[in-house]
Amino acid sequence: MSFKLDSIDRRILGVLQEEGRLSNVELAERVGLTPAPCLRRVRTLEKAGVIQRYAALVDPNALALGVTVFAQVTLDKQVKQQLEVFEKSVQRWPEVMDCYLMTGDSDYLLRIVLPDVAAYERFLNGSLTQLPGVASIKSSLALRQVKYSSALPLRLY
């Protein structure tokens, strides 16, 4: 991306990552701008794709989704067609919160959120193992979440 962020843009992003529902007037006040230039900057960040979307963060326990599973999936072949089939399938499964193509021992790492272990077993047997080309799956259940953040680090590196 060729979009250059200055310190004000970074302050705007930092505040919005923590409190995305602030009014423009409140945001402007927090970052030290007047409302009109603040709104212009936010719109520019949105148009440039720096701000992709706005969302509410929901407590999974409030929805009885208390089990998080990390699944390492290895395919029997790492050819383009097989990768595409796997990735399209993962996109359709709402239980899969994150999916990463990996280096190392497995091809993909999935974070899956479900109500209980029995639901994971059903998902595993009814969806994941049914995909052609899946050679192995190693699952780890999270005991508890120690840290969670949706905010990206805004420091300069």
Q: How far, in Å, CA of 84 to CA of 80, rounded?
A: 6
Using alpha carbons, select from 100, 141, 102 the residue that is nearest to residue 119.
Answer: 141
| Segment 67-124, tens digit of pLDDT | 999 999 999 998 999 999 999 999 999 999 999 999 999 999 999 999 999 999 999 9
* Confidence band for 155, pLDDT divided at 50, 70 and 90: confident
DSSP-assigned letter for residue 61: G
AA identity, residue 21: R
The strands making up 67-75's β-sheet, listed across from edge to edge, are: 96-101, 108-114, 67-75, 134-141
pLDDT at 157: 52
pLDDT digits (tens, 9 = 90+) for 27-73: 999 999 999 999 999 999 999 999 999 999 999 999 999 999 999 99
pLDDT of 2 > 80? The answer is: no
The amino acid that residue 117 corresponds to is V
Residue 1, pLDDT > 90, answer no
pLDDT tens, 126-147?
999 999 999 999 999 999 999 9
